[in-house]
Chain A
Amino acid sequence: MIPAAFDYLAPTSVEEALAALAEGGEDTKVLGGGQSLLPILRMRLNAPERVVDLRRIDELRGIREEGDHLVIGAMTRYSDIVTSPVVRLHAALLAQAVEEVADPQIRHRGTIGGALVHADPAGDVGAPVLALEADLVIRGPGGEHTVPSNEFFVDLFETAVGEGELLTAVRIPKHTGWVSHYEKFVRVKHQWSIVAVAVALQVEAGTIAAARVGLTNMGSTPLRARAVETALQGRPASDVGDACERAAEGTNPPSDLNGDADYRRHLARVLTRRAVTTALGD
């Protein structure tokens, strides 16, 4: 319950933060909202020598529109995403998923960037970010670069954010007018997702013009369910047929106390169908 001792820095700019990371080396941890990191430190599952807290860096916080994109600062809190009218308008799926993260207290503190970099496959932010085909803006000693979401998640708890780098923002193409739903399956409400499905659909003249499906906890990273997307595309919104039966293709879900891999595959299919149905307003 008491973390091991560490040095603490709270820089006020990204440059200062990058310098603090460079100086600290590999035993440095970045503190965003802290809602994943602090439990790890308390349980002493990790004992960094230095913690770099991003809370004073104003440029990392906030939601703004940039042409066809929404740009969400990495330190933007869940609760601010959930209540943001522009997110509801242009990336409703993200708000729907973030609303399902943990509980209100956690949502008051936790940040989108923290969750993405933590990269827990059972977390609820990865799947919508994948489904919305967001780009992740990363800054490091060598400057800034952007990684598409399908290249961002590398492995369990591992992302494209390298040592000494910071995720600074999430750029989400506006999905204005798309319908969406995040379907989360848990045994008790405060659990991590056993499986969850993020669905965004563009419906034109009664036909599904485009489909994006992200899966939570169906592998070591959040996944795109591309087979379902392909199967849904071009189908009439009133009859998606058995398109959702392909939801588990290419997945490698874990087996644990909440369910084995077979059960998770089954859930992915059922939940995808339900998410699609709900998104379509049926």
Chain B
Amino acid sequence: MTAVDDHPALEIGKARRRKEDQRLLTGRTRWTDNIQLPGMLHLAMVRSPFAHARITSVDTSVATQAPGVIGVFTGSDLDGQGLIANAWPLNEEQKTPDHLPVAVDHVACAGEIVAVVAARSAAAARDAAELVDVDYEELPAVLDAREALTDAVLVHPELGTNRSAFWQLDSAEAGTGGDVEAAITTARAEGILIEREYRQQRLVPAFMEPRSTVVDPTGEQIVMWTATQIPHILRFLIAATTGISEAKVRVIAPDVGGGFGGKLQTTPEEFATLAVARRTGRPCKYTETRSETMVSCHHGRDQWQTLTLAATKDGTVTGLKVDLLADLGAYVAILGGGVPVLGAWMFNAIYKFPAYQFNCQTVLTNKTWVDAYRGAGRPEATYAIERLMDELAAEVGVDPLVIREKNWITHEEFPFTSVAGMTYDSGNYEAATARARELFGYDELRAEQRRRREGGDTVQLGIGVSTFTEMCGLAPSRILGALNYGAGGWEHASIRMLATGKVEVLSGATPHGQGHETAWSQIVADRLGVAFEDIEVLQGDTQIVSRGLDTYGSRSLVIGGEALVKAADRVIEKARHVAAHLLEASADDLRFSAGQFTVAGTDKGISIGDVANAAWRGHNLFDGAEPSLDSDATFDADTFSFPHGTHLCAMEVDTETGATRMRKYVAVDDIGTIINPLIVEGQEHGGILQGVAQALWEEAEFDDSGTLVTGSFVDYTLPTAADTINFVTDNTVTPATTNTLGTKGVGEAGCIASTPAVVNAVVDALRHLGINDIQMPLTPQRVWKAVQSAGTDPGGPSQEAQPHFAEGALNQDPSAGATDGAAQ
């Protein structure tokens, strides 16, 4: 009988300070833009100022003659420049326009590249870019997603329509629930129907490091350094769309300064740099300016959500119908319509809804293309349902926590298969909510709210609730296959046992601030029983880690972490046989714990480091033994993981100016087993503020001609330290049952949960004035106008507060809100 191994958790759960920090703190970081190569050329892009135009001619003759210029290239000069691919067509019928890195004869959004200047210095390239003379025939542009549906103006005339794809999930059809139309009919007759339209404004990911790419075409292999989240996917798509052999392409993501989804694209800039480097035969570098980032990096969100929530009079939800109109911008990006569709399984959130239907129409417009931004589909879904649950609570006349408790899955009910067909493995919403309530001082703040309301204070107080769940660990390959996604969702890891006892850990997940070096070291240290300090993590280079599917969708730990465990276990299994030979014992009698193999019933033992050294020397191994303990593993999950949490937010609203101020924020997240609480806390803080920023500050806005007016950090208002407060964070833990470590993922949690918490709080502060919605971001002007219109028409719906409602749309009609005619 095999002795039982164990892996005492000495590192997991410990607030280890990060290994990454030393170089980042001292300025010894390797950002892509730091790289200088002999003879390197610098590129500048000539970009379209028009949202929609035909390129009639590009005259590069003057620019070519400018000092320091080596070449100027248009789209038609760059044969084999490759394609920007969509990896997730929603169905066979999806309309997907061709997306060339450098446009040839047609531009569909402002900022598209129409020519590339290569010069000996960045200054010379920029100077010459101004000398490229492009003639455009400006075409009518369609900027509004709803207008685009009419096809009056076509973004890509050759497609014949702006509608890209339609995708539906219906619980009755899928057999996971009832008929939503029946639930709505019943609620209209005898229950409560909440009908709302919410706007998910467009956001800019706004990672701090502008994107940069260096391509070295010299030598046998083409090497690309690039500020990306997805070096492996990029390598594959370079090979797949340019015809260069995959084995001849090495992509390196050196230190990458943030991504938040914004760097999970394969970009026109990367392909253009590659094409020009190949064409000139010289190393080339392109680093964008922030203004270029703003307009050319994909944007996030941009949805119109039409929602119908059916409930009984007591507030038990009987059905939810979701109609999404998702603006893709000018092209279908790598995930494209897949981003809004990721919300399909999340609108029902933590609740037991008996009937559900999700419809998503994606549409093209002449604006910057849209793709994943922190949360990707799930924040939008969470926003909608958490806003609706507050509206339902108001309708029923109970506390928003009560309405949630009435509808949520109780902890005894796990595993629970949702109306969208997802099986949630574990969770405890009651525990997280109880803890959040306690930390928040819920009852005291409610009492203060009442006092301010009764006293008619200029500054009103509101409390917002957000009880969320998300699906993490993107994604089981079989599910991705069923969804028509072009790749799998596994992750790869290798462990190399070095002769000196050190351990190299290779992971296909590529970090950009998450602290993988530290967390992976903690996991492997416990699994192999080696010292945290003796582990080196290698990543972000397709030549060092040949297999990988990179970092997005809160997958690194849940999928990549499990691959590490599996690789470590293989190392242990190999080592066990070598150790048995060295200890002259049977492998079955060896017990492995804390880095030591011991023989049951004796004091004989050997450390895994010594076994590794013995294997390296190879002098004394059993017959047929392989002189290596190194092991690989590729892990593919069976299902997702489902973190959840309860966030409570108190907002003060200055009714005189419309200014809002956060008073208190409490987040209790259940993300399963915590590897490093310090890193978890950091992810929560940053995620929460990004979500708060959507609620209060950020929006990418275009003018009528399709120019991005929030095109720099002057107008795209990111919060500073002086605009926010300290959040109170805590965790409850119900381990995931779908991976060995019990982890669920944390990268997106804060960002998913916080947006509705803030908006719910502001609406709650003003609800007594008859306000039940304000469009995001909640600018002081919007809040003030809501207060103004409420004051002039007490009890009625606020038109000023809801300028996002289409003419004749749901909330325009006061009587459409609730069938019992209660005040809105």
Listed in ascending order, the chain A residues whose CB lies under 8 Å from chain B are 1-2, 4-5, 43-44, 185, 187-192, 194, 257-260, 263, 266-267, 270-271
Contacts and interface: CB of A to CB of B under 8 A. Distances in A.
Contact of B719 (A188, A259, A260, A263): A188
B291 interface: yes
Contacts of B137: none
12 contacts: A1-B289, A2-B122, A5-B123, A43-B291, A185-B657, A188-B720, A189-B720, A257-B709, A257-B715, A263-B781, A270-B656, A271-B657
A113 B126 CA distance: 31
A188 B701 CA distance: 17
A187 B127 CA distance: 36
Interface string B155-177: 00000000000000000000000
A263 B785 contact: yes
Contacts of B665: none
Contacts of B127: 4-5
Contacts of A4: 127
Interface in B691-735: 696-697, 701, 709-710, 714-715, 717-720, 722-723
B816 interface: no
A4 B714 CA distance: 22
Contacts of A44: 130
Given A5-B127, A270-B657, 19 more contacts: A1-B126, A1-B289, A1-B290, A43-B291, A185-B657, A185-B780, A187-B697, A187-B717, A187-B780, A188-B717, A188-B718, A189-B720, A257-B701, A257-B710, A258-B779, A258-B781, A259-B781, A263-B781, A267-B657
Contacts of B126: 1-2
B58 interface: no
A194 B780 CA distance: 11
Contacts of A43: 291
Interface in B630-671: 656-657, 659
Contacts, number: 52
A2 B44 CA distance: 11
B784 interface: yes
Contacts of B291: 43
B508 to A, nearest CB: 34
Q: Among B290, B697, B779, which residue has the most Cβ atoms of chain A within 10 A?
A: B779
Interface residues of B, number: 29
Nearest to B288: A1
Given A257-B709, A266-B784, A267-B657, A187 B720 contact: no
Nearest to A194: B780
Given A2-B123, A4-B127, A185-B659, A259 B780 contact: yes
A263 B789 CA distance: 13
Q: Among A188, A190, A259, which residue has the most Cβ atoms of chain B within 10 A?
A: A188
Nearest to A189: B722
Nearest to B698: A188
Closest 6 CB pairs of A and B: A189-B722, A259-B781, A1-B289, A188-B717, A189-B720, A263-B781
A4 B66 CA distance: 14
A102 to B, nearest CB: 11
Contacts of A270: 656-657
A191 B717 contact: yes
Contacts of B717: 187-188, 191
Nearest to A191: B717
Contacts of B785: 263
Nearest to B122: A2
B408 to A, nearest CB: 35
Nearest to B654: A270
B723 A188 contact: yes
Contacts of B720: 188-190
Nearest to A185: B657
Q: Among A44, A187, A257, which residue has the most Cβ atoms of chain B within 10 A?
A: A187
A21 B710 CA distance: 36
Interface string B766-781: 0000000000000111
A168 B350 CA distance: 67
Contacts of A188: 697, 717-720, 723
Q: Among A192, A258, A260, which residue has the most Cβ atoms of chain B within 10 A?
A: A258
A151 to B, nearest CB: 30
B174 to A, nearest CB: 43
Interface in B116-147: 122-123, 126-127, 130
A209 B134 CA distance: 64
B784 A263 contact: yes
Contacts of A258: 779, 781
A258 B709 CA distance: 12
